[in-house]
């Protein structure tokens, strides 16, 4: 009830300012938004690689489903094995690309900060 009265008393104030979330995020070091290019690009690449990780998990689950429902059909088992091996190769490529982008972004950030 007090929160609602406080929110209604200051209609121009932001909800996060009233609740103290902005101050808490600032104290934790996560309150600001990054505006430098390497951080933004790194965040975008990290999000894309995370999405690819989710695709990998979905492919592994689908390949496992195909294998379990093959019922002894050798062609379906081969298809599931091929899909699973392709997903693992994709995961290796995802890890390699993450490592490469991590090195490039950190080098770029270091070079631009000097």
pLDDT digits (tens, 9 = 90+) for 70-89: 998 999 999 999 999 999 99
Three-state SS across the chain?
CHHHHHHHHCCCCCHHHHHCHHHHHHHHCCCCCCCCHHHHHHHHHHHHHHHHHHHHHHHHHHHHHHHHCCCCCHHHHHHHHHHHHHHHHHHHHHHHHHHHHHHHHHHHHHHHHC
Work out the average pLDDT over 37-44: 77
Q: Where do the domains of the chain lie? A: 1-32, 34-113
Q: Can you give the pTM of this predicted structure?
A: 0.61
């Amino acid at each position: 009830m007090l929160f609602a009265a406080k929110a209604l008393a200051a209609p121009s104030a932001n909800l996060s300012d009233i609740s103290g979330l902005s101050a808490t995020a600032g104290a934790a070091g996560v309150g600001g938004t990054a505006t430098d290019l390497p951080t933004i690009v790194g965040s975008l690449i990290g999000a894309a690689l995370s999405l690819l990780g989710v695709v990998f998990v979905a492919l592994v689950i689908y390949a496992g489903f195909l294998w379990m429902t093959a019922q002894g059909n050798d062609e379906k088992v081969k298809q599931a094995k091929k899909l699973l091996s392709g997903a693992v190769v994709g995961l290796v490529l995802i890890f390699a690309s993450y490592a490469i982008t991590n090195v490039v972004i950190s080098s770029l950030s270091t070079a631009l900060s000097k």
